[in-house]
């Protein structure tokens, strides 16, 4: 590997490491996500510095040029990070939906209480309807007790 390419790789990986630390320090990046980025930066930095290891890895996976192997490994880390963030976004989307449903129920309760009328009892056989007193004695008189918001009880 040429010295210039190695130097650029070292500077790039070191810069990534410093940027991640600065983002954590400024509370722009949570520690649990920063760990993945820091691990990636350390592996890339280690391979950029340790020329022999990078050449061994490149030879093992059948890549002619060690710098190309370094970029392939960096690309692999990016794919893993994208998958991790996609699962986090999916989880947050589900939680947001449940939260919006709960807020809607609370707003309806508040509107009903401010109006002075009570909610009508749900008709028998309606999915999600239950007898409030039978499910929880502390919820006697609560018109929404026993209703299940989709995904709320896990």
What would the DSSP string read from start to end of 47-112?
HHH-HHHHHHHHHHHT-SSHHHHHHHHHHHHHHHHHHHHHHHHHHHHHHHHHHHHHHHHHHHHHHH
Distance CA 103, CA 24 (A): 32
> Is the CB of residue 149 less than 8 Å from the CB of residue 101?
yes
* Position 47 in a domain: yes
Residues 6+ apart with CB under 8 A from 41: 13, 14, 16, 17, 20
Structural domain of residue 74, as residue ranges?
3-80
* Position 112 in a domain: no
Place of tokens 């649990």: 32
pLDDT in the model for residue 132: 47
Distance CA 88, CA 97 (A): 14
Q: At what angle do helices 31-49 and 66-115 cross, to 10 degrees?
A: 180
- Model pTM? 0.58
* Position 41 in a domain: yes
* Position 67 in a domain: yes
Total domain count for the chain? 1
* Position 42 in a domain: yes
* Position 149 in a domain: no
* Position 22 in a domain: yes
**pLDDT string in tens for the chain (154-residue length):** 588 888 998 999 999 999 999 999 999 988 888 898 999 999 999 998 998 898 999 999 999 988 899 899 999 999 999 999 999 999 999 999 999 999 999 999 999 999 865 555 555 655 544 444 444 444 445 544 554 555 544 4
* Position 134 in a domain: no
pLDDT in the model for residue 20: 93
């Amino acid at each position: 590997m040429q010295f210039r390419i190695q130097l650029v790789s070292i500077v790039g990986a070191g810069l990534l490491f410093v940027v991640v630390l600065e983002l954590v320090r400024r509370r722009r990046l949570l520690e649990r996500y920063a760990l993945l980025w820091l691990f990636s930066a350390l592996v890339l930095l280690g391979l950029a510095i340790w020329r022999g290891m990078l050449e061994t890895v490149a030879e093992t996976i059948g890549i002619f040029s060690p710098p190309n192997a370094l970029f392939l490994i960096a690309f692999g880390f990016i794919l893993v990070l994208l998958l991790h963030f996609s699962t986090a976004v999916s989880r947050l989307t589900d939680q947001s939906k449940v939260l919006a449903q709960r807020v809607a129920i609370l707003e309806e309760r508040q509107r009903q209480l401010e109006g002075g009328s009570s909610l009508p009892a749900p008709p028998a056989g309606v999915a999600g309807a239950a007898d409030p007193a039978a499910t929880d004695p502390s919820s006697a008189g609560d018109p929404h007790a026993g209703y299940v918001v989709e995904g709320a009880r896990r």
